[in-house]
A = this chain, B = another copy of it.
């Protein structure tokens, strides 16, 4: 029965107890090849029995200069990020790779006030920054000296990055949707403005602010408009500040209550598209008969819907995996662009 009240055992204590040097104990834990298997096993067994569970993490980290932790910086309040399927899949991808490499994941939110300090002070080997907002880019706390940083759904000068074909994807799906010759088109956009309100955007701020990926998608839509001879005014574009149902519902209601009711809704996320369909159905509109809706993301939840969703599928888990691999140096540092794929569902055949 070990004394629980004693201060934690140190490697030195153990060495003394077992009559070997500290180096030997250390090697037993870290470098199996540096001593006989026999000795090693007996040491590990002894350690366990006397209640020494391995080297102190802080000390080891001070000595080696690495922590085995990567800070994942999410762009929203954690509540939003964590409840967002897309972000969850991304995190899953990261965690798959990190698990393998015995790395752990520290969650940070770029919504925090003193992010820069928090980042500097946090015990991590570096960061994976997930889709930060532009104004945050401007403040540029991202270039931490000596800390590996990977940008995801965004670009940071001097850092490797993973992005998705946002422009091409948006253009593809808009082209597909416009083949139905919709009478009126509206866009339910995500993070197009620096505000936390659901609102339309003004002509003069069309590509102004906006998270990088939203701007790219917007440009994609507009390219398709041009090719198809459409002209969409800013007043037919809504800004939804966060990817949550409540706000998406509001925007969808506003859009569908216009006198020139849209017959096509281009939604910048699947969640928004799902919300829009719900609103439409509640208003007695049939999808796709009365209204076409397309999304973006390809989240698995949408598989069970009726109507099923027409959307641009992106590889979220892969995005996470690649980000983690870049971080760990398992993959050559560069700017990765992931392909997207048009998935045709019932909401816009």
**A55 — which chain B residues lie within 8 A by C-beta?**
121
**Chain A to chain B contacts (Cβ below 8 Å), 18 pairs:** A53-B145, A56-B62, A57-B123, A61-B123, A62-B62, A67-B123, A68-B121, A68-B122, A77-B92, A79-B92, A82-B91, A83-B85, A83-B88, A95-B109, A105-B107, A107-B107, A245-B303, A245-B304
- In chain A between 50 and 108, which residues have their CB closer than 8 angstroms to a CB of chain B? 51, 53-59, 61-62, 67-69, 77-79, 82-83, 85, 88-89, 91-92, 95, 99, 102, 104-108
Q: Which of B51, B57, B278 contacts A304 (CB 8 A)?
A: B278
**A56 — which chain B residues lie within 8 A by C-beta?**
62
Q: A32-63 CB contact bits vs B (8 Å, 1 = yes)?
A: 00000000000000000001011111110110
Interface check A249, CB cutoff 8 A: yes
In the bound assembly, the distance between CA atoms of A287 and B268 in angstroms comes to: 32
**A112 — which chain B residues lie within 8 A by C-beta?**
99
CB distance from A242 to the nearest CB of B (A): 13
In the bound assembly, the distance between CA atoms of A177 and B90 in angstroms comes to: 39
**A306 — which chain B residues lie within 8 A by C-beta?**
282
**A109 — which chain B residues lie within 8 A by C-beta?**
95, 99
B82 adjacent to A92 (CB under 8 Å): yes
B99 adjacent to A89 (CB under 8 Å): no
B245 adjacent to A301 (CB under 8 Å): yes
When C-beta atoms are compared, the residue in chain B nearest to A29 turns out to be B121
**A116 — which chain B residues lie within 8 A by C-beta?**
53
In the bound assembly, the distance between CA atoms of A95 and B108 in angstroms comes to: 9
CB distance from A64 to the nearest CB of B (A): 9
Q: Is the contact region of chain A dominated by helix, strand, or loop, or is it mixed?
A: helix
Interface check A117, CB cutoff 8 A: yes
**A145 — which chain B residues lie within 8 A by C-beta?**
2, 4, 8, 51, 53
- Contacts A82-B92, A88-B83 given; does A53 touch B104 at CB 8 Å: no
Residue of A4, A85, A106 most packed against chain B (CB within 10 A)? A106
A59 adjacent to B62 (CB under 8 Å): yes
Q: Which of B54, B69, B105 contacts A117 (CB 8 A)?
A: B54
Interface check A146, CB cutoff 8 A: yes
In the bound assembly, the distance between CA atoms of A2 and B143 in angstroms comes to: 13
A304 adjacent to B249 (CB under 8 Å): yes
B146 adjacent to A57 (CB under 8 Å): no
**A106 — which chain B residues lie within 8 A by C-beta?**
69, 104-107
